[in-house]
Structure 1
Amino acid sequence: MDPEQLLPDALLERIRGRAAGYDERNEFFYEDLEELAASGYLKAFVPVSDGGQGLDLEGVAGCQRRLATAAPATALAVNMHLVWTGVARVLADRGDTSLDFVLAEAAKGEIFAFGNSEAGNDSVLFDSLTDAKPLPDGSYEFTGTKIFTSLAPAWTRLGIFGKDSAARDGDGELVHGFVERAAPGYEILDDWNTLGMRATQSNTTVLRGVTVPADRIFRKLPVGPNADPLIFAIFACFETLLAAVYAGIGERALVLGVEAAMRRTSFKNGGRSYAQDPDIRWKVAEAAMAMDALYPHLAQVARDVDDLADHGSQWFPKLVGLKVHATETARTVVDLAIRVSGGSSYFRGTELARLYRDVLAGMFHPSDDESAHNTVANAWLGPLET
């Protein structure tokens, strides 16, 4: 399915028209989410036989890139739901049916979100500061604090993980499960007041002994890096769809920069358009070339995931490399568009000013620049000697 079919121009323009207001009011994108759900967008990965769109990762990445041109914060938050459903699809494609229930519940309208990030935990998925206490009936009680839980006002299923420190002879075990919205034992803080990506409402979630039933525990893994398919699926979907959102930001910034260059005129050059100014033309060309290099990179990585390509130990370098390429390219292109647009873009309320604030969030998503470069260096040069 073409992205324009799932996100027709009329829907996209309504979403674009609300983005500035959500940002100004620091408000969740309720209307956007309602329209996207009604259109079937949240069922993008759900099989057609179950009422979904049946898209693969490349198809969903194209849709998320398009959505981000209208409302980056909406796209980024929706990413969290699409990542979980994408993980289920990637696992199923590889013969792992452990998360088929995610697709089945998404088909019924459930909304999934990520509750994995923890302040100070730079091990990401390979260790946890959250305590996972096993109970006699096979359920687990989770206690800890999760940050950046996007979709906080709307999720119905929150994916979390924590560590059972006593398991595996004291080496510890990472336990993954889903919390349902109605479960007692957690609190969502009203603490999201950020520079950009404000509509995501990625509030902190405090787990105060919330219980995840045994049938909602879907993985138990050793502490540290491992080759479990779940880890690959999360990284593959998270990094690829994240890259798609930032590619959309860069795409929109380039359009706005071109429009500004065509619109602005030079007094000293007799009212000629800035589109005729060599320096402005160079900046627009620089931005366009950067984006032209990003689009095929995004599409190829997504296609390789869909095609079950075997990149072996190079898979994680490819995924983190795509994320860094997308976020850094988008930041560069937004900066160039602002330079092209002149001082008017510095005023509060302009779309470029909002994109400038939104695009900065890219440096904080995992894998960050330092971690990504370490991953790639280790793949090519081996680990640092100790």
Structure 2
Amino acid sequence: MTAPSAALARARTITTDDEAREVARAFAETVRPHAARIDAERRIPLEVVDAFSETGLWAITIPREYGGAEVSHATLADVIATVSAVEPSLGQIPQNHFCLVEDIRLSGTPEQKAFFFELVLGGARFANAFSEAGGKNVAQIQTTLRPDADDPGTVVVSGRKFYSTGSAYAHWIPVLAVDEEGLEKLVFTERDSAGLTVVDDWSAFGQRATSSGTVVLDGLRVPAERVFPMHQEYEVPTIAGPFAQLTTAAVDLGIARGAIVETHTAVRGARPWIDSGVDSATEDPLTLERVGRLDIDLAAAEALTEKAGAALDAAKPTPDAQNVAAASIAVARAKVLTTELSLEASSRLLELGGTRSALGEKALDRYWRNARVHTLHDPVRWKYAIIGDYALNGTLPARHSWI
């Protein structure tokens, strides 16, 4: 295996769950002064992304036998949520990185694991080139992988991707493609590889700085030793699906946390309503009811997310149909509540803060915009029926990345 072209300074090595959570809290506070500007400019300064890598947080799921902390899934979710509470675009860009580290763990050879895990411990960042615009549904992949006729040790990849989160900030961009038999393969390639072009065309009104746009593969040539049999991850029970969903729920939980903190600040600076009969908005009984409801729902969302993490921890050592399904359902419950709460909290922020909360210089609308866009990742409305079918009929959910 050959090393990447760009040398990386080795990141901090995190060794415990408590350390990971503490480092995330400290790093998030350094980002807070940049948050509104990141949203306004639609980009994360490279020095902020590099500082994120140097914390060692991008490596916390690497197995212990390869030098990582292998933190619990609840800790992983809390780390993502902590960063997302301050700046959710920054919280989202490692979301698929963590999923890719999990892909390596699940389907990599010992040599591939040693090589790529060492890169991540050194500060390397992965971005995904999975989904495509168009097609019958999200699972239909048209990007192809074919053997190089002139070099049996090389494969050639061609296609066009969209929703390639983090692509502008990544060192490596793993690409999902189908081989001649229609099997999904994951191909790891460096971002500056010939035949790979990142097109920074992400134009959504929320999560504006995630660089989730187009990646073009035009005759990309990749060593066969960098190909992973990703199709195997769903042929048997694995935690790949609920793992991916947990990272998504964690971003939404973070947005909700951030919006609720801003709501408290906004209410303290707001005027009471004329008919309330109180001197301060913090004494308005109708405002207190709304704030209390948010607090209850946040506590519930955090508890469900922790419980989902525990279900993944339980399934990880010996995954089978039953415990993987239990993990998927536990994550689905958390996903429903974090979705609803992120939308509700970001809307209540503007309502309870009053008209002044809508002023442009405050940039508080970014919480709702970010929540609305990120929660479109997959339709949470489907999760109600899946959970109900499991609870009532014992029906196990499908195995894929969206449950």
Instruction: Please say whether Structure 1 and Structure 2 have the same fold, judged by a TM-score greater than 0.5.
Output: yes
Structure 1 residues without counterparts, runs of 5 or longer: none
Q: How many residues in Structure 1 have an aligned counterpart in Structure 2?
A: 369
Kept in 1, the 8 Å contact 2:54–2:123? The answer is no
2:286 to 279, 286, 299: 279
The corresponding residue for 1:5 is: 22
Cα deviation, residue 284, structure 1: 0.8
Relative distance call for 1:95 and 1:308 in structure 2 (3 A) is farther
1:197 to 192, 195, 207: 207
The corresponding residue for 1:254 is: 260
Relative distance call for 1:370 and 1:181 in structure 2 (3 A) is same
Asked if 1:66 corresponds to 2:82, the answer is yes
Cα deviation, residue 372, structure 1: 3.5
Asked if 1:227 corresponds to 2:235, the answer is yes
Q: Which shows bigger deviation, 131-140 or 107-116?
A: 131-140
1:280-310 Cα shifts (integer Å, max 9, x gaps) = 1111112111111110111111122122275
SS in 2 for 1:35: helix
Cα deviation, residue 370, structure 1: 4.5
The corresponding residue for 2:161 is: 146
Asked if 1:115 corresponds to 2:126, the answer is no
Relative distance call for 1:279 and 1:332 in structure 2 (3 A) is same
Relative distance call for 1:362 and 1:25 in structure 2 (3 A) is closer
Kept in 2, the 8 Å contact 1:294–1:325? The answer is yes
Kept in 2, the 8 Å contact 1:266–1:273? The answer is yes
Taking the aligned partners of 1:267 and 1:339, their CA distance within structure 2 comes to: 12
Cα deviation, residue 202, structure 1: 1.6
1:176 to 172, 182, 186: 186
Kept in 2, the 8 Å contact 1:265–1:271? The answer is no
Cα deviation, residue 240, structure 1: 0.7
Relative distance call for 1:95 and 1:57 in structure 2 (3 A) is farther
Asked if 1:295 corresponds to 2:302, the answer is yes
TM-score (norm 2): 0.82
Kept in 1, the 8 Å contact 2:312–2:324? The answer is no
SS in 2 for 1:153: helix
Taking the aligned partners of 1:122 and 1:255, their CA distance within structure 2 comes to: 41
SS in 2 for 1:287: helix
Cα deviation, residue 132, structure 1: 2.2
Relative distance call for 1:95 and 1:311 in structure 2 (3 A) is farther
1:326 to 328, 338, 341: 338
Taking the aligned partners of 2:184 and 2:25, their CA distance within structure 1 comes to: 42
Relative distance call for 1:28 and 1:299 in structure 2 (3 A) is same
The corresponding residue for 1:215 is: 225
Kept in 2, the 8 Å contact 1:45–1:103? The answer is no
Kept in 2, the 8 Å contact 1:144–1:206? The answer is yes
Taking the aligned partners of 1:135 and 1:199, their CA distance within structure 2 comes to: 36
Taking the aligned partners of 2:136 and 2:281, their CA distance within structure 1 comes to: 46
Kept in 2, the 8 Å contact 1:148–1:204? The answer is yes
Identity of aligned residues (%): 21
SS in 2 for 1:74: helix
Structure 2 residues without counterparts, runs of 5 or longer: 1-16, 317-321, 397-403
SS in 2 for 1:207: strand
SS in 1 for 2:123: coil
Cα deviation, residue 86, structure 1: 4.0
1:49-78 Cα shifts (integer Å, max 9, x gaps) = 766444232212111111111111100112
2:269 to 255, 263, 268: 263
Taking the aligned partners of 1:143 and 1:378, their CA distance within structure 2 comes to: 40
Asked if 1:27 corresponds to 2:43, the answer is yes
1:208-254 Cα shifts (integer Å, max 9, x gaps) = 121232101110538xx94345xx44323221111111111111211
1:12-35 Cα shifts (integer Å, max 9, x gaps) = 222011111111112234222121
Where do 4+ consecutive residues of structure 1 move more than 6 Å?
A: 94-98
More strand by share: 1
1:79-102 Cα shifts (integer Å, max 9, x gaps) = 22222224445x39x999864543
Relative distance call for 1:213 and 1:25 in structure 2 (3 A) is same
Kept in 2, the 8 Å contact 1:64–1:244? The answer is yes
Q: Which shows bigger deviation, 12-21 or 322-331?
A: 322-331
TM-score (norm 1): 0.85
Taking the aligned partners of 2:327 and 2:76, their CA distance within structure 1 comes to: 20
Relative distance call for 1:240 and 1:352 in structure 2 (3 A) is same
Cα deviation, residue 369, structure 1: 2.5
Look up the equivalent residue of 1:186 and give its one-letter code: L
Relative distance call for 1:212 and 1:324 in structure 2 (3 A) is farther
Asked if 1:357 corresponds to 2:374, the answer is no
Kept in 2, the 8 Å contact 1:57–1:86? The answer is no
